[in-house]
Amino acid sequence: MPQTEQINRELELARSVLGAEAKAVAQIADRLGGADGPFVQAVTLIERCVQRGGTVLVTGLGKSGLIGAKISATLTSLGITSHFVHPTEAAHGDLGSFRPADMCIALSYSGETEEVIAIASLLRQDGIPVIGITAGERESGLKHASTVVLAVGECEDELSPAPMASTTAQLALGDALALCASRRLGFTPEDFARRHPGGSLGALLRPVVEALRFKVENRTLHPVSDKVSVAEALKQSETSVRRPGALLLVDEQGVLSGLFTDADLRRLVLKDPAALSSPISQHMTRNPGRLHEGDLIRDAVRMVREHRRDEVPVVDAKGRPVGLLDVQDLVAMKLVRDDGAPGER
């Protein structure tokens, strides 16, 4: 076990690394420019590329190459066709991957990576736009070969011989570029969900009605009038095909007015068994938290986590129940745990 002094030094070093990386990311915002600045110009280049049916190819070497591969993957996730091209392989035939409608994002913090400069120069000669991501403070080969240069600024990587703050800054700038371009092109959360049908991220963006086991329309759920007694409400609920963990109470117009859970029933019977003959409106939770049928599963997860709800009514535009979300539906999807904490991501 390390000594206390050594542990304190390690913690201080960790804080220094995180502080340097946070500073590197923060300073990028000041370099984006205005409406006619380089960042907006870069977003426009991506927009035009996509509208032409082109592909955004990303290149970089070493650590910048790894960051470039991640940026390419993010672009693809956000609806922008993208591939990573290794600069060395490009010099040996992979330049054939580029078409006139395409464009390139080239990463080199120093701006002097020979293989990256070579690709950028050849592409510019062929009229293919190049977005260069560099430190940007000094003149460089990549800066001269690029259509637009996005500068991350001089990042302090003095703590380690391996790039840290500079690659973090490149990654953050790439994320901002990808998301802004995607939004401008009209990419929606629904589009993201269609591209990620098997993952939990995609599941979070599905409509909440797709997660419901208890639905009014298929009689797995039967709303009950809030004018009847507790006993009568329980009797009427037995007409449901399945037994949910709560009763949905409605007024004369069929609008949700309350919620009466199994836990409410247990507390009521233990306190006063004779209360079963009293109006259920006296014991229900009035105007309970609810979701609307247009909400997403992520909204349900947020409500369960923040308000510790086990059952959440789902209503239509007029406030009439369409279903009941049970927390076990989200547990089965591994989006929350039994204790309401976040599930697997």
Q: Kindly report, residue by residue over 54-97, the tens digit of the pLDDT.
A: 999 999 999 999 999 999 999 998 889 999 999 888 766 666 67
Residue with tokens 């709800």: 309
The C-alpha R_g of the chain, in whole angstroms, comes to 28
Write down the pLDDT at residue 344: 45
Q: Kindly report, residue by residue over 118-177, the tens digit of the pLDDT.
A: 999 988 888 999 999 998 767 899 999 999 999 988 876 666 666 788 899 999 999 999
Write down the pLDDT at residue 191: 62
Q: Determine the 3-state secondary structure of 2 from DSSP.
A: coil
Beta-carbon-side half-sphere exposure of residue 282 (alpha carbons within 13 Å): 10
Other C-beta atoms closer than 10 Å to the C-beta of 39 total 22
Q: In what order do the strands lie in the sheet with 56-60?
A: 82-84, 56-60, 103-107, 130-134, 148-151
Tell me the range of 88-102, 150-164, 198-212, 278-292 where mean pLDDT is highest: 278-292
Tell me the range of 100-109, 120-129, 292-301 where mean pLDDT is highest: 100-109
- Buried b / exposed e over 197-226, threshold 16 CB at 10 Å, is eeebebbbbbbbbebbbbbbeeebbbbbbb
In sequence order, what are the beta bridge partners of 315? 292, 321
Average pLDDT, whole number, for the chain? 85
Write down the pLDDT at residue 180: 94
Helix, strand, coil shares, percent, the chain, to 5: 45, 15, 35
Helix residue ranges per DSSP H, the chain: 4-28, 38-51, 63-77, 87-90, 114-125, 141-145, 165-184, 189-195, 200-204, 230-237, 262-271, 297-307, 327-332
Write down the pLDDT at residue 30: 81
Beta-carbon-side half-sphere exposure of residue 343 (alpha carbons within 13 Å): 22
C-alpha distances (whole Å) from 107 to each of 66, 121, 150 are: 10, 13, 10
Distance CA 42, CA 76 (A): 17
Write down the pLDDT at residue 192: 62
Q: How confident is the model at residue 318 (pLDDT cuts 50, 70, 90)?
A: very high
CB 324 within 8 A of CB 301: no
Average pLDDT over residues 252-264: 93
- Where do the domains of the chain lie, and which CATH numbers do they carry? 4-187 (3.40.50.10490), 207-332 (3.10.580.10)
Write down the pLDDT at residue 345: 41
